[in-house]
Chain A
Amino acid sequence: MTATAAPAPAAPETPTPRGVAQSRSLFDREILAQSLRDSFFKLDPRVQIKNPVMFVVAVGTVVTFIEAVAKPTFFSWAITVWLFLTVIFANFAEAMAEGRGKAQADTLRRMRSETEARRLLPDGGEQRCPASELSKGDLVVCEAGDVIPSDGDIIEGIASVDESAITGESAPVIRESGGDRSAVTGGTRVLSDRLVVRITAERGQTFLDRMIGLVEGANRQKTPNELALTILLAVLTIVFIPVVVSLDPFGHFSAIVSGAKGTGTVDVVILVALLVCLIPTTIGALLSAIGIAGMDRLVQRNVLAMSGRAVEAAGDVQTLLLDKTGTITLGNRMASKFIPVGGHSEQELASAAQLASLADETPEGRSIVVLAKERFAIRERQLEGSHEFVAFTAQTRMSGLDLDGRRIRKGAAEAVKRWVAEQGGTPPDELDGVVETVSKAGSTPLVVADGRTVLGVIELKDVVKQGIREKFDQMRQMGIRTVMITGDNPLTAAAIAQEAGVDDYLAEATPEAKMALIKAEQEGGKLVAMTGDGTNDAPALAQADVGVAMNTGTTAAKEAGNMVDLDSNPTKLIDVVEIGKQLLITRGALTTFSIANDVAKYFAIIPALFAATYPQLNTLNVMKLHSPTSAVLSAVIFNALVIIALVPLALRGVRFRAAGASAILRRNVWIYGIGGLIVPFIFIKLIDLVLVALHAY
């Protein structure tokens, strides 16, 4: 990938390798320049009509322009220019939001175009063709150094694959035929060995293609809440049109009945200015930028949402299904304690356990060796003499070592007890008690025996991730229920659930049980989010309202879910929920701000509007603005500048703090509601002062 641009100052999280999600500064110079150009291209009426609020502003600009040409005054030209700038600023906000995605898409596109495929013909021969000509069902061969031409499933071979182009993770991953690790993604590179891949994606429908489309926002559709908000904004626009248009007859009539001088004709330029100030231009201008930026924030965290709808649904989620392993606990169980029985010493037990685990390459086995070293400084020994490792099998459920006639075993309690009994030994009475205690605490007991003698128990503990409990507390405050999914027995599950602080758990979970749980929650009207990677997760991923598939997962899982996490980090589900909420909050806050602004604008414009007929209305000029025209101009300038001022907020999103709904609402009403009432009074006055100082008046 190309060199990373300046690191984003706005991203405080620890820097992780990024794939598509290169951090770019909010105001990257390249994007800024491109956005400025795009702001003008977006003046196309066919683009403008998609946004009813800004369309009205654009039409208003044309009207004032005609007026300004017909009756040129400083005022009418100034208003025309600032209305035009209002439209440009709105375009600019949208272009900025799109710009970041476009830059990422370009990089991805370059990667896609240059790949060549080796298609396997039915007769066994090979044929070279461009990747873009592959269709679903074709077989291709990839050898070390080749770029995999398209998405597919491995049907033959095992290889290490560099997926950094997609995920940004530089460590290669193993891909092999069959099972849950058989999916490969177009654009990744085979590092070793040879693979035969059956293409599973249609032309132009590959993961890479979809990713490009997504980050670019090419087929962006309005999300349900965005659509609803657009309708509300349209209503608020429509209602103000007759309000403003009717002021002309009102003015005429007032001039007649009041006997004042003049005809009471209201300046068209002022009417347009009033209309633009009253309709919700602030939110109207920033609405699509907020939506695009919300998707972009997900991409920044290496999550690809297949639709904006899914992002919004994430904000609505009320139940989170979290896989225990990898999400709540570190992936593996770790030895945490040696508990000797039958009068043996702890060191004796540790020594035997270490010997039994020397050849055990599982993380559990290694953790026993590590614990023995930590506790008793028992080093890894070079074994001399005759020795034979006994591997774990599903039948024996034990593993260990035969060394110089000693037979050391560790394994499941029942299995080891039976093995000891077969040799004529008797496990000590206290053993059952110890085993049960360990199980109840949510850990796994491994019994260690040396020949006929049971030495003791190793406690293998599920280690709950640091900070996860606090996360769940936050979720609870937000009204989100967390459910831990685990294959463990209910006893173990309960203990871990307790330790991690989840609200509920599903023990001995099967895909069917998971599915049933999702359906039950949904029938109660709740929205459910989950993560998954295996093919057997696919139905549940499809059923869930938000299904985040791990990128390491199978094609079936990725197709069933509506998001893909490129980092394959299931904890990210929590981030996804927060981003969804932040998106909605940003829209709501700016809508409130926009509407609240109207009050001040009224006080600026209404006295000016009828100044000729009713000079006494100047009492309403509470800001003591210099003159009627300076008042109107100040309001219009404020209206335009506030859009630019809020672009960073729209792109970054309103700060989100996990809290209950009432607390969040109170905070936002104060900042954006009350703030929205007060701020324009101050700034319109300031702009007016500046206009006077500049001798514009």
Chain B
Amino acid sequence: MLVVALGITWRYLGSYMAGVFEGRVRYLAWAERPFYRVLGTSPEQEQTWKRYAGSLVIFSAVFLGFGYLLLRVQGSLPLNPQHMGQVTPALSLNTITSFVTNTNWQNYAGETTMSYFSQIGVLTVQQFVSAAVGIAVAIALVRGFSRRNSSTIGNFWVDTTRCLLYILLPISFIAGIILVGEGAVMTLAGPVTVHDALNGVTQTIPRGPAGFMGSIMQLGTNGGGFFNANLAHPLENPTAITNLLYIWLTLSIPFALTYTFGKMVGSIRHGAALLAAMAIIFGVWVGFTVYAEHTNNPAVAAAGVHSTVGNTEGKEVRFGDTSSALFNISMTHTSDGAVDSATDSYTPMGGFGPLSGMMLGEVTPGGVGSGLYTILVYAVIAVFIGGLMIGRTPEYLGKKIQAREVKLAGVAALVMPVTVVVLTAVAASLHAGRAGPLNSGPHGFTEILYALTSQGNNNGSAMAGLSGNTAFYNVVGAIAMLLGRFAIIIPALALAGTLAAKQTVPAGLGTFRTDNGMFVGLTIGVIIIVGGLTFFPALSLGPIVEQLSHGKFW
């Protein structure tokens, strides 16, 4: 059912998005105009890649600054029925960076730290805006391929506005209604205290505008939930239907963008090739993670408990191990990072799935926009290596891949692994970092690695088991998130600029085919090699050795 639903969205949402960004879908033009007037721009004013990147950086920096201030003074702001105090500087920095970079790493528990105002006015706004920024960058890069001899790659303000108005707002509104209809809580009335007469217990149940926040958090592959328990919380993810809806929301745009790409460059087959590369890796990872979670948790088995229903420790029984594993892979292979089960309690190889999924650079299918622009970076590298092997200067969609393109793609591909590895090394060396993990042994190492991989990839999935809300982890995490976002976006936009300026070479029999199975294979190869080879030593010290410690690899 999920596959069919995704197939339909791939085709129709993808086509719709192409229409929006090519300016053909204009039914909300009246709503666009006021934005342009305020911003002093118009769809006709195209930007060079430098202007585009500049606008993006300024835009993000403004939100970063304001967001930080608002979190710091949340105690004096309205919509704060629980009278939450101000957020500490380090946590404010980490949190606002996290939401501006579409990471949604949460070093706090939402229901006990953030006021309603912060949740809505700061965090939810960012869930919309950061998603729109990501998609805008992807579209700009696509234009790099579709245009020829052009000095411009679109207009950042227009792309972002259109993305919000035509795509994110309508879909999340409809999904939000369904979620609330299924029982997700949606209120600003503060927590309720209920008295369970049967057991004689009184408990306070936090509430909030979780329903609508849930829809954009998934649609925008944000993953930052209202509650600390994220989507394992029954008030945010009440039923099996909402669980499925959340998965669909997360995967819909990242997959559909490949169709948008195909349509905009005039070859759906090219979009389908990227989709295939994404889907194959995704499928394999779901497969082995589900398998790993079907087995008994060796740690539990060692305690003498024999389970016949797989590894259910840390999972909501109403979802079970298969659905939980699917959910978890879906959220880590997008840049979403929401959870409906505790990764910390997965079997080592079950935890390897989400962790290594993030290490592949969030391209299968990745976050909204970021998945597409990152896989395009990998595709450029695949084209370069494969293209040389047929004896021509490599071309992708008629664009010659030469020194400048390789340099930019190389930098974009390099940033993430270097950031993660270096920061993990720093954390593992310093006292402040070593204090983080709750577990000893390789699992403790995995906890650090997981946290920095998640932030470096702008994912936000948390394994739990790491005390992240310390000054050290807040700051290191913020650095990882900023590098993982902007140090990839800027080379990606530069790549868009240099590609757009190029002449297009017509395809012929002697052209390296970039829309067939061989190319899909090569792209997968590059993704696995860049992600896999760089992290293999670290992984072998974490989940791999942990699994081996239980006496078997599989």
A residues engaging B (CB < 8 A)? 224-225, 227-229, 231-232, 234-235, 238-240, 242-254, 256-259, 274, 278, 312, 315-316, 318, 476-481, 524-526, 580-585, 587-589, 591-592, 595, 598-599, 602, 606, 609-610, 614, 616-617, 619-620, 656, 660-662, 664-666, 668-669, 672-673
Q: Is the CB of B513 within 8 A of A661?
A: yes
- Report the Cα distance A315→B388, complex, angstroms: 10
Interface residues as binary, B497-513 with A (CB distance below 8 Å gives 1, 0 otherwise): 00000011110111111
Q: Is the CB of B390 within 8 A of A661?
A: yes
Q: Is the CB of A619 within 8 A of B548?
A: yes
- Minimal beta-carbon separation of A294 from chain B (angstroms): 11
Q: Is the CB of B392 within 8 A of A661?
A: yes
- Report the Cα distance A246→B440, complex, angstroms: 20
Q: Is the CB of B518 within 8 A of A669?
A: yes
| Listed residue (B389, B406, B533) with the most chain A CB atoms within 10 angstroms of its CB | B389
Name the A residues within 8 Å of B548 (CB-CB). Answer: 614, 616-617, 619-620
- Report the Cα distance A149→B402, complex, angstroms: 42
Q: Is the CB of A232 within 8 A of B381?
A: yes
Known contacts A257-B437, A619-B548: A582-B391 contact under CB 8 Å: yes
- Report the Cα distance A246→B536, complex, angstroms: 12
Q: Is the CB of B392 within 8 A of A606?
A: no
Name the B residues within 8 Å of A660 (CB-CB). Answer: 509-510
The listed residue (B403, B410, B522) touching A227 by CB distance below 8 A is B403
Asked if B239 is an interface residue, CB under 8 A from chain A, the answer is: no
Q: Is the CB of B392 within 8 A of A250?
A: no
- Minimal beta-carbon separation of B135 from chain A (angstroms): 27
Asked if B529 is an interface residue, CB under 8 A from chain A, the answer is: yes
Q: Is the CB of B442 within 8 A of A585?
A: no
Q: Is the CB of B510 within 8 A of A661?
A: yes
- Minimal beta-carbon separation of B379 from chain A (angstroms): 14
Q: Is the CB of B504 within 8 A of A584?
A: no
Name the B residues within 8 Å of A580 (CB-CB). Answer: 391
Select from chain B the residue with minimum beta-carbon distance to A587: B388
Name the B residues within 8 Å of A582 (CB-CB). Answer: 391
Asked if B329 is an interface residue, CB under 8 A from chain A, the answer is: no
Name the B residues within 8 Å of A656 (CB-CB). Answer: 391
The listed residue (B389, B506, B509) touching A476 by CB distance below 8 A is B509
Q: Is the CB of A312 within 8 A of B393?
A: yes
17 contacts between A and B (CB under 8 A): A231-B403, A232-B384, A239-B418, A257-B440, A479-B508, A479-B510, A480-B510, A582-B391, A584-B390, A585-B391, A587-B388, A588-B391, A595-B385, A610-B541, A614-B541, A661-B392, A666-B518
Residues 432-455 of B at the A interface (beta carbon under 8 Å): 434, 437, 440-442, 444-445
Q: A479-B509, A585-B390 are in contact. List 14 more A-B contacts (CB 8 A).
A: A232-B381, A238-B414, A239-B417, A240-B534, A243-B417, A246-B422, A257-B442, A259-B441, A316-B393, A318-B510, A526-B506, A589-B389, A619-B553, A669-B522
Name the B residues within 8 Å of A661 (CB-CB). Answer: 390, 392, 509-513
- Minimal beta-carbon separation of B514 from chain A (angstroms): 11
- Report the Cα distance A664→B387, complex, angstroms: 10
Interface residues as binary, B362-390 with A (CB distance below 8 Å gives 1, 0 otherwise): 00000000000000000001001111111
- Report the Cα distance A591→B413, complex, angstroms: 18
Name the B residues within 8 Å of A588 (CB-CB). Answer: 385-391
- Minimal beta-carbon separation of A189 from chain B (angstroms): 40
Q: How large is the interface on B (under 10, 10 to 19, 20 to 34, 35 or more residues)?
A: 35 or more
Q: Is the CB of A620 within 8 A of B510?
A: no
Stretch binding the partner chain, chosen from B186-194, B287-295, B423-431 = B423-431
B residues engaging A (CB < 8 A)? 381, 384-393, 398, 401-403, 405-407, 410-411, 413-414, 417-418, 421-422, 424-426, 428-429, 434, 437, 440-442, 444-445, 503-506, 508-513, 516, 518, 521-522, 525, 529-530, 533-538, 540-541, 544-545, 548-549, 553
- Report the Cα distance A312→B400, complex, angstroms: 13
Q: Is the CB of A250 within 8 A of B402?
A: no
- Minimal beta-carbon separation of B198 from chain A (angstroms): 45
Name the A residues within 8 Å of B535 (CB-CB). Answer: 243
Select from chain A the residue with minimum beta-carbon distance to B548: A616
Closest 3 CB pairs of A and B: A479-B510, A588-B388, A581-B391
Name the B residues within 8 Å of A232 (CB-CB). Answer: 381, 384-385, 406, 410
Name the A residues within 8 Å of B541 (CB-CB). Answer: 250-251, 254, 610, 614
Name the A residues within 8 Å of B406 (CB-CB). Answer: 228-229, 231-232, 235
Name the A residues within 8 Å of B512 (CB-CB). Answer: 661, 665
- Minimal beta-carbon separation of A352 from chain B (angstroms): 51
- Minimal beta-carbon separation of B410 from chain A (angstroms): 3
Q: Is the CB of A606 within 8 A of B441?
A: no
Q: Is the CB of B401 within 8 A of A591?
A: no
- Report the Cα distance A606→B521, complex, angstroms: 26
| Listed residue (A238, A254, A582) with the most chain B CB atoms within 10 angstroms of its CB | A254
- Report the Cα distance A620→B440, complex, angstroms: 23
The listed residue (A229, A254, A481, A524) touching B442 by CB distance below 8 A is A254
- Report the Cα distance A595→B553, complex, angstroms: 26
| Listed residue (A232, A582, A592, A606) with the most chain B CB atoms within 10 angstroms of its CB | A232
Q: Is the CB of B538 within 8 A of A250?
A: yes
Q: Is the CB of B509 within 8 A of A258?
A: no
Name the A residues within 8 Å of B398 (CB-CB). Answer: 525
Known contacts A235-B414, A616-B548: A606-B537 contact under CB 8 Å: yes
Q: Is the CB of B545 within 8 A of A614?
A: yes
Q: Is the CB of A665 within 8 A of B402?
A: no
- Report the Cα distance A258→B508, complex, angstroms: 58
- Minimal beta-carbon separation of B384 from chain A (angstroms): 6
Name the B residues within 8 Å of A243 (CB-CB). Answer: 417, 421, 534-535, 537-538
- Minimal beta-carbon separation of B465 from chain A (angstroms): 13
Q: Is the CB of A246 within 8 A of B445?
A: no
| Listed residue (A243, A278, A481, A595) with the most chain B CB atoms within 10 angstroms of its CB | A243
